[in-house]
Chain A
Amino acid sequence: MAKNLHDNICDEIRFNALFKKHAKDLSNFLYYKFGDHLNPKDKTQDAFIKLWENCKKVTPEKAKSFLFTIANNLMLNEVKHHKIVLKHHQTKPKHYTTESPEFLMEEQQYNQKLQTALSNLTNAQRVAFMMNRVEGKRHKEIAELLGISTKAVEKRIYGALKKLRQDIKEL
């Protein structure tokens, strides 16, 4: 990583650059981990507001982990308050309409099974797996983002896949 010339991020340009670099990953991370109903986008905003308020204490190298920790804690606070079962939302793609009713029915069942199976994964498994499958991120990228080793990422993703297939079969 290039050595940073500045020891804090109290500067609008630097701060905005940080936002563009991390905000999307952070928002998606929160979505995979906690689901949609706890407003990952809002938590992302809140985390960045906290970052700005503490900009003097946070070095550019630490900004990412600061953001992820803060956002995670914000989410956990909310989970504590609400105790809501996590669920992934889905929007039905329209192009299925030409298929036969049986196929549609089966498709719907499959998706429901998949949704339940995803909920049954551990948070860590789900985050790594979804980043990989939905966003097409490579193991190394995910490892960097989550601050863990590539091997651990691989383990989580493969474990998740195995568990999903098994769950779908059983359900």
Chain B
Amino acid sequence: MEREDLIKKWLDNNLNSQEFEAFKQLEDFEELTRLDFALQQFKPVDFESDIELKKLNLALKNKHKKQNNWRKPFLRIAAILAICLGSFYYTTTLDTSIATKFAEKENIVLPDNSQVKLNAKSTLAFNKNSWKDNRNLDLTGEAYFKVAKGSKFTVHTSVGDISVLGTEFNINTRNNLFEVICYEGSVKVAHANTIRILKPGESFLILDNKLVDKPKIRDTSPTWITNESTFYSMPYTQVIAELERQYNVTFSVNDIDTNQLFTGSFTHDNLDIALQVITTPFNLAYTINNKKISLKRE
């Protein structure tokens, strides 16, 4: 066998015993053995699969953890931010609300120096923070407005919206009643599908969902401001309701036509006088029993 073939076979660890003997006889044998022996020093450091695998699994775990590590504090910060922003938003958008009870009136000065007088048993709500951008108010009950000049000023009620630029007007929203009276400037009233612009002295009156014409008035402010309620051809129920609010009393009426129209006024300071004023024109008698008033025909 050729020398080269023997060496190649030796390299492939493929010599049989006979061939190996032949290989031993080669002049190369000593040199090759020495080389082979010396080469063993260049052996790589033992690779211990199990230890390396443990390292790898640990590294992979840490990698996953790292991903969680940034996610957790990020979520924490996000949650805190969300709470802060939420509460900030909530407190800044929270409305300021003012309410009056029975027999109570309130003077309110709005942030723009507009003045509001709130009649008994009424509520006014507005937002202090957005006031500069839009002058919006919510009203239930009755209030008299003296609006400072400026941007659009809107009063929302359950029945309709009233918007003005700078003027004096009165709004009254009670059961089955929606009345806006303009005292100065002009007032735009939006109710259902109708839009009316009121000039001084004009009023807009809805009674039981019907528009009622009312003659021009000459007053420069509503009379309730000076503790007197005035009515022009108003159903008797409205008169009684107003008296209930101003004196915190309750009425019981028997067989009396409460749809009769009443024109006149009563004071807020003296119950007896007020009762006399509203009963005499209809020939009624009244009895007071612990804040309960019953009306009867005379």
Contact = CB atoms under 8 A, between A and B. Distances in A.
A and B pair up: yes
Interface of A: 16, 19-20, 23-24, 27-28, 31-32, 36, 40-41, 44-45, 48-49, 52, 88-93, 110-111, 114-115, 118, 130, 132-134, 136, 138-139, 154, 157-158, 161, 164-165, 168
Contacts of B44: 27-28, 31-32, 36, 40, 134
Given A28-B47, A164-B35, A139 B12 contact: yes
Given A32-B44, A36-B45, A44-B52, 16 more contacts: A20-B53, A23-B52, A27-B47, A28-B47, A40-B44, A49-B56, A90-B42, A91-B41, A92-B41, A110-B34, A114-B42, A118-B42, A130-B39, A133-B39, A134-B44, A138-B12
A115 B38 CA distance: 10
A114 B35 contact: yes
A12 B39 CA distance: 37
A94 B45 CA distance: 17
17 contacts: A19-B49, A23-B47, A23-B52, A24-B49, A27-B44, A28-B47, A41-B52, A89-B42, A93-B41, A114-B42, A130-B42, A132-B12, A133-B39, A134-B43, A139-B11, A154-B12, A164-B35
B14 interface: yes
Nearest to B63: A49
Nearest to B34: A110
Contacts of B41: 90-93, 111
Nearest to A164: B35
A138 B14 contact: yes
B31 interface: yes
Q: Lowest 6 A-B CB distances belong to which pairs?
A: A24-B47, A31-B44, A90-B41, A27-B47, A88-B42, A139-B12
Contacts of B13: 136, 138
A88 B40 CA distance: 12
Contacts of A93: 41
A161 B56 CA distance: 36
A119 to B, nearest CB: 11
A138 B12 CA distance: 5
B39 A19 contact: no
